[in-house]
Structure 1
Amino acid sequence: MDKVAQIASTEIGDIIVPTFSVFAPLLEEKRAEIQEIPRSTFKYRSTDRHQLDVYYPITREDKTQILVWIYGGGFTTGERQMPAPFDLVYANVGAYFARRGFITIIPDYRLAPDTVFPGAAEDVRDAIRWAIKHPEHLTTQNSPNPDTKNIFLMGHSAGAAHAFTALVLPNADDSTPLQSSVAGAILCAGAFDFAPDDPMLDTVKQYWGGFEQAKENDPMGLLASASQSVVASLPRIVLVVGEREPSSLLQVNQDFSQALESRTGKKPAKIVGQGHNHLSVNLTLGTGGGEKWAEEVIAWIRKSE
């Protein structure tokens, strides 16, 4: 974590190369442990972007909890399996949580500009529905009874925005509302709202169609306009941020926390990744260091049992 602290900037564009450069060799040292975790790939819809990886626990659980993890990427980039030398990135996340007893699902989803709102959130929703409808693909000797009634949904950055959006989308096209199977949401450094001078404004316009449309349909806007019945159906929520997030993102997450408390009457839990920047929270998993925030997430999940 000392090397993360040496990266002076906290802005996302500035930290990508140095942060990946710090963690690539650390993950390489753990390659065998990461790749020891069994993994299978499935299609949950028809396109190449509608594939997901399932990471299976290697220790037996009588009733196995499911964690669906949604990566970020600024709404225009991201993939569940990266090319070398970063081919352990996100595999480390799946392996980390599988090693702690979770059936861990990491889906790809459509990206802007090839899809627009709410396309990516619909993909998140459909990946969860796939898991609910296909427990046979989640079942192994070590996970004979996947718990499809208590799924935990976790998203990072743009993935957190898509995860929350999936929870408030209409369910008219399916007889089983998503909310009835999602027991908790872990939203990490979410891109929940945007300002007129936001550096992501061009991307915002690509995905939502314009700034005003984004203000209506980003997570903050959807939360403000959601019916009371939708708000009441939201699962338990914990907000996670790195200590070294960009100041604007820390403010957005604070504002979103206050909005959640105002609408639900409950203050969401909060976890801070001490010493972490926007990217290192995920890249550290499986390295053996800097994982305290994730252990706190697991403890928060286990509280619901």
Structure 2
Amino acid sequence: MEFLSTIQGTELPEINTPTFLHFIPQLLRNPLIQNPTPQTHQYGPFPSQQLDVYIPPTGMNPAGQHTKPPVFIFYYGGGYMSGRKQMSLLSPGGLTVYSPNLTSLLSSQDIPDLRDDPTIVDRLYHQNIGTFLASHGFVAVIPDYRLVNMDSVYDIDPENDALFPSGAEDVTLSMKWAVNNLSEIADTETVFAMGHSAGANHLATAILLPEFIPSDPELMSKLKKWCTLSATFDYIHSREQRKVAWSRYFGGFERIGERCPSSLARGLGDGEAGKLPELLCLHAKRDHFGAVDPQRRFWDAWVERGGKGRMEVVRGGSHNHMSTVYGVGCGDEEVEWWLVDVLRWCLEQ
């Protein structure tokens, strides 16, 4: 954890590569992450509509007082334009857009296992999240969703490219799939969901817009609580790349203000948020300003409309926008505290 405080800056181009380089060697020593057995399923008709399911190890008791493991669904981030349930870090098409030099930097590290087989870093993310959740007595579900096409010239392909509200559609479909297909191995009456960064925005949209999760009363009754981590609930200009991605997802720069989660929360009627599941709204102490300030505005609107829950800074004072996710599974309890806290909150009556 101490190393994270030495990383200069808070924006993704500044933090992403050093955070990766710090945690990857530690995750490579975790046999659960290296040898997972997730089951991959198609939850919708489009190529990106796939999800991975992680089951608790044999002999593991279900979390809490449940006779079967509760369902925990995690929606990763990636600025609307990148990310995968199993990220191929070393393939040209799989590289995170924020760490284009990661391959060369990793190859220069003195890591014997990595030197012998560079592909062992593939799929560390987000297998680290799935295996951690499963090891704590949950059936973990990590869906893919459609991403923004960042090509300079392109035509929208609705089967592959994200365009508002496709994120909410993918969230709703994947949650319905989990509830309808996992009852033999999980307590599908008890579902928790968490999104990180752009994934949190998609989750919030699916919960706030009445045509998605709220349109299915049975699904709503099973979603007990939800959590957002470092969400970017409205737009703050920084990098041109962010402006392009947001503009393409929301259907034009001028549409962001009316379609972003902060605006959707303000658009709820009096008391309507009180009818929605309880929310844990989190950010890191060293998060970038594009997450911290919008979160305050979203939270104010949520509470004003009757929403229940808590807004907190995660434990671990040096965490940045990505270390919360990249560090899970490293074995350092201080790094992983925040996710243990989330799971405890989920199980509170």
TM-score (norm 2): 0.79
Q: Shift in Å at residue 185 of structure 1?
A: 0.7
Q: Compare CA radii of gyration and give the structure with the larger one.
A: 2
Alignment of 1:214-293 (within 5 A): 214-228=256-270, 230-264=272-306, 266=308, 268-274=310-316, 275-289=318-332, 290-293=335-338
TM-score, length-normalised on structure 1? 0.90
* 1:113-139 deviation per Cα after TM superposition (whole angstroms, max 9, x unaligned): 312000011101100000111125xx3
Matched, 1:63 2:63: no
1:121–1:163 Cα contact (<8 Å) kept: yes
Q: Which residue of 2 aligns with 1:78?
A: 83
Letter in 1 for 2:142: I
Give CA-to-partner distance per residue, 1:192-245, whole Å, 9 cap, x none.
0113x3432221110001233111111001111124475233111001111111
Distance in structure 1 (CA, Å) of the matches to 2:302 and 2:146 = 27
Unaligned runs of 5+ in 1: none
Task: Say whether the 8 Å CA contact 2:75–2:143 is kept in structure 1.
Answer: yes
Q: Which string of whole-angstrom CA distances, capped at 9 and with x for unpartnered residues, describes residues 116-167 of structure 1? A: 000011101100000111125xx3xxx4xx2222210100000000011111
Q: Percent identity?
A: 33
- Per-residue displacement from partner, 1:3-52 (whole Å, max 9, x unpaired)? 2222111111221111111111111111x122455411100012220110
Relative to structure 1, is the Cα distance of residues 175 and 267 closer, same or farther in structure 2, using a 3 angstrom cutoff?
closer
Read off the aligned partner of 2:253 and give its amino acid letter: F
**Alpha-carbon RMSD:** 2.0
Correspondence for 1:297 = 342
Q: 1:266/1:52 Cα in 2 relative to 1: closer, same or farther (>3 Å)?
A: closer
- Equivalent-residue separation in structure 1 for 2:42 and 2:87 (angstroms): 18
Q: Quick one: distance in 2 between partners of 1:177 and 1:192?
A: 27
Aligned residue for 1:181? Answer: 222
Alpha-carbon separation, structure 2, partners of 1:175 and 1:87: 33
Query: For the Cα contact (< 8 Å) 2:273–2:308, is it kept in 1?
Result: no
Question: SS of the residue aligned with 1:53?
Answer: strand
Question: What is the CA–CA distance in structure 2 between the aligned matches of 1:266 and 1:107, rounded to whole Å?
Answer: 26
Paired AA for residue 83 in structure 2: G
Aligned to 1:9: 9
Corresponding pairs, count:
295
Q: What amino acid is aligned across from residue 11 of structure 2 in structure 1?
A: E
Q: Is the deviation greater in 238-247 or in 33-42?
A: 33-42
Report what 1:193 is aligned to: 234
Letter in 2 for 1:23: F
Q: How far has the Cα of 1:87 moved from its partner?
A: 2.2
Task: Provide the C-alpha distance between the structure 2 equivalents of 1:202 and 1:166, rounded to a whole number of angstroms.
Answer: 23
The answer (yes or no) to whether the contact 1:232–1:264 under 8 Å persists in 2 is yes
- Structure 2 unaligned segments of length 5 or more: list them: 89-118, 150-160
Deviation (angstroms), 1:250: 1.3
**What SS is found at the alignment partner of 2:227?**
strand
Q: 1:172 to 1:24 in 2, by over 3 A?
A: closer
Distance 1:194 1:248 in 2: 7
Please state which structure has a larger fraction of its residues in strand: 1
User: 1:68-217 alignment to 2 at 5 Å?
Assistant: 68-83=73-88, 84=119, 85-113=121-149, 114-136=161-183, 139=184, 143=185, 146-171=186-211, 175-176=216-217, 178-195=219-236, 197-199=237-239, 200-217=242-259
State the alpha-carbon separation in 2 of the partners of residues 159 and 175 from structure 1: 21
